[in-house]
Amino acid sequence: MQKEYTITVYTEDRIGITNRITVIFTRRGINITSLTTAETEIAGVYKFIITVISEKEKLVKIVGQIERLIEIHRAFVHEEDEVVYQELALYKISTKALQNGNIELLIRENNARILTLTDEYFVLEKTGHQQELIDLQAKLAPYGLIEYSKSGRVAVVKWSRRFHDHLKELETRRPDNLKQAQYKEHTEVSAEEESI
């Protein structure tokens, strides 16, 4: 059944890694609906958070093919209830709209906040799940929405404690022979830790 899934991928810091990951989705004709990436708490290890609308069975195979890439540590596909996630949107609105009493109510009800205010426009920020951000955009449209921008997903996995121990352990290992930094010799990770 087609539905939205979150995929997390832990990678080495290497030029072109985004390309290597996305081309695997391209091959199977799957559209990536959002992609967020940043360094994790472990220096040199990056986390990709990808959202797609597809089928679980297909995505499990895709995740297997992603993991096969040399510079990937692990990749996972998560159901909606396995992750806590947030997205962020910015809304640029004409300042004239402030003269309308209803906008104050909208801001309060949506827990949005004003980031900046000029004579011409103001910028609202809201975090939440995708649909909440889209709903607010629809509600703001009549007030003269000038620009709207939404982020990809930021997510943490509910069952990930041991994996982060594993990541921390990686920090103690040599990244690879192309990096000159001195790292202490690696020790084998037990099978249990490997399996998150």
Q: How far is CA 104 from the centre of its chain?
A: 30
Q: List the interface residues with other proteins, window 101-120 (CB under 8 A).
A: none
The Cβ of residue 58 has, within 10 Å, a number of other Cβ atoms equal to 15
Stretch of residues binding other proteins (CB under 8 A), selected from 20-28, 35-43, 120-128, 152-160: 20-28
Beta bridge partners of 89: 126, 150
- Rounded Cα distance, 56 and 124, in Å: 36
- Selection from 184, 156, 150 nearest residue 41 by Cα: 156
Contact characters 137-176, other proteins, x per CB under 8 A: ---------------------------------x--xxxx
**Smallest distance from other proteins to CB 80, Å:** 23
Considering the rule CB under 8 A, would residue 20 count as an interface residue with other proteins? yes
- Contact between 193 and other proteins by CB under 8 A: the answer reads no
- Distance (Å, whole) CA 157 – CA 81: 9
Interacting residues with other proteins (CB under 8 A)? 11-12, 15-16, 19-20, 23, 27, 60-61, 64-65, 67-68, 70-73, 170, 173-178, 186, 191
